[in-house]
């Protein structure tokens, strides 16, 4: 079979697979090792989007490989064994690359279709949940609000005075203002829904003598996962001594601390693997709230930065140490609550 007859046969084979004329011509050129527009990736993406059957076209591509091998067999037989193997390797690699590109294009197309379907289902579900939530407010005459201020949950219940598809008017109260103050720039608050993992975002539209008007937004994931751990800012003089696995010791400055973790900074380079167990001794907090530490810690992460080594430690305190840390963090929580109340008063 000469080259012209082979190409005609190939075009007929591709046409039988459902490809139109331009696509047949471009793919035939790629199968022959030539250059054509569009390139294989773009061409296969277009064909996948046109719902060309994945297995059907793959079978055609395999048949095209067999067809070219049959056409070139006399030529290949005339070569010495080493050269023949090189040519066969190139032929198999070229066709294999095209076959793989086609399968990848189909996989990406179907993944995109599934993602779009999931997004549409999520949108429909959220719209239904939004309507159900507004119906619950109308029926109960009340809604439940929620915000987080650091780790502190700041809930409130409010009486519904007026409701429309886009806005809800609620009774103003000190608790409502406190919950609103805990939100971003004091303007956003979340309303609970029937789904414990989803909330409705509300934005402050206006506050008057005895009412708060909120614009009703969309459904969002529950904000619990985004809340920030309340951490105790350490005094510049707060230091600990680390007992290292090799028996040595290293001084470190405490940058922050919480009931479960600590950030420290060591001058120079300190080589420690994540997962190492150490002993830490020192003092954190400011007078009159201070805690003397002598406890085991677990290295969670290590980072070098500007001639210093920063470490994130998980605290593994004993019973007495745990109680002292809990008291320290509770004191800082009370400070946070006082700050939140000041924001609400503003």
In this predicted model, what pLDDT tens digit does every residue of 104-158 receive, in sequence order?
Answer: 999 999 999 999 999 999 899 999 999 999 999 999 999 999 988 766 778 899 9
Buried b (16+ CB within 10 A) or exposed e, 235-272: eeebbbebeeeeeeebebbbbebbbebbbbebeeebeb
pLDDT(60) > 60: yes
CATH class of domain segment(s) 141-226? mainly beta
Tokens of 62: 């395999």
Q: Give me the pLDDT at residue 226, please.
A: 56
Beta bridge partner(s), residue 189: 202
Alpha-carbon span 163 to 124, nearest angstrom: 22
The DSSP H or E segment spanning 174 is: helix 174-181
pLDDT of residue 141: 95
pLDDT of residue 171: 95
- 104 class by beta-carbon count within 10 Å (0-12 exposed, 13-18 middle, 19+ buried): middle
Q: What pLDDT does 115 receive?
A: 92
Domain assignments of the chain as residue spans, ordered by start: 3-112, 141-226, 232-342
The token pair at 277 is 């167990």
Is the model's pLDDT at 279 over the cut of 80? yes
Pull the structure tokens for residue 32. Answer: 């022959």
SS3 241: strand
Q: Predicted confidence band at 216 (pLDDT cuts at 50, 70, 90)?
A: very high
Q: In 10 A of CB 143, how many CB atoms?
A: 23
The string over 206-217, giving b where at least 16 C-beta atoms fall within 10 Å of a residue's C-beta and e elsewhere, is eeeeeebbbebe
Residue 194 has pLDDT above 90, yes or no: yes
Give pLDDT tens digits for 61-113: 888 888 888 888 888 888 888 898 988 898 888 888 888 998 999 999 999 99
Q: Which CATH number fits domain 232-342: 2.40.10.340, 1.25.40.10, 2.40.10.220, 3.40.50.300?
A: 2.40.10.220
Minimal CA–CA distance to 14: which of 89, 93, 137, 98? 98
* pTM (two decimals): 0.53
DSSP 38: S
In terms of average pLDDT, the best of 9-13, 202-206, 304-308 is 202-206
* Start-to-end C-alpha separation, the chain: 88
């Amino acid at each position: 079979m000469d080259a012209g007859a082979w190409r005609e046969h190939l075009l007929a084979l591709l046409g039988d697979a459902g490809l139109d004329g331009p696509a047949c011509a471009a793919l035939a050129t790629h199968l022959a090792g030539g250059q054509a527009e569009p390139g294989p990736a773009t061409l296969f993406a277009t064909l996948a989007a046109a719902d060309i059957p994945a297995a059907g076209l793959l079978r055609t591509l395999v048949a095209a490989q067999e067809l070219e091998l049959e056409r070139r067999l006399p030529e290949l037989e005339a070569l010495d064994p080493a050269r023949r193997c090189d040519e066969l390797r190139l032929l198999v690699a070229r066709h294999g690359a095209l076959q793989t590109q086609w399968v990848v294009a189909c996989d990406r197309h179907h993944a995109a279709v599934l993602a779009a379907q999931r997004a549409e289902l999520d949108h429909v579900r959220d719209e239904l949940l939004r309507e159900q939530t507004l119906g619950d407010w109308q029926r109960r005459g009340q809604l439940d609000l929620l915000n987080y201020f650091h780790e502190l949950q700041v809930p409130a219940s409010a009486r519904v005075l007026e409701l429309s598809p886009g806005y809800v008017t609620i009774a103003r109260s000190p608790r409502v203002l406190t919950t609103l103050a805990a939100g971003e720039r004091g303007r956003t608050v979340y309303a609970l829904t029937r789904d414990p993992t989803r909330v409705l975002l509300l934005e402050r539209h206006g506050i008057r003598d005895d009412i708060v008007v909120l614009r009703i937004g969309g459904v969002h994931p529950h904000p619990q996962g985004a809340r920030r751990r309340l951490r105790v800012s350490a005094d510049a003089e707060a230091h600990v001594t680390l007992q290292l696995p090799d028996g040595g010791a290293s001084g470190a400055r405490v940058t922050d601390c919480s009931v479960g973790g600590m950030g420290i900074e060591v001058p120079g380079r300190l080589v420690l693997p994540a997962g190492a167990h150490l002993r830490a001794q020192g003092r954190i907090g400011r007078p009159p709230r201070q805690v003397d530490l002598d406890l085991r810690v677990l290295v969670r992460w290590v980072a070098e930065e500007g001639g210093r080594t920063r470490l994130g430690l998980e605290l593994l305190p004993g019973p007495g140490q745990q109680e002292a840390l809990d008291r320290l963090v509770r004191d800082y929580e009370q400070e946070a609550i006082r700050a939140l109340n000041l924001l609400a008063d503003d």
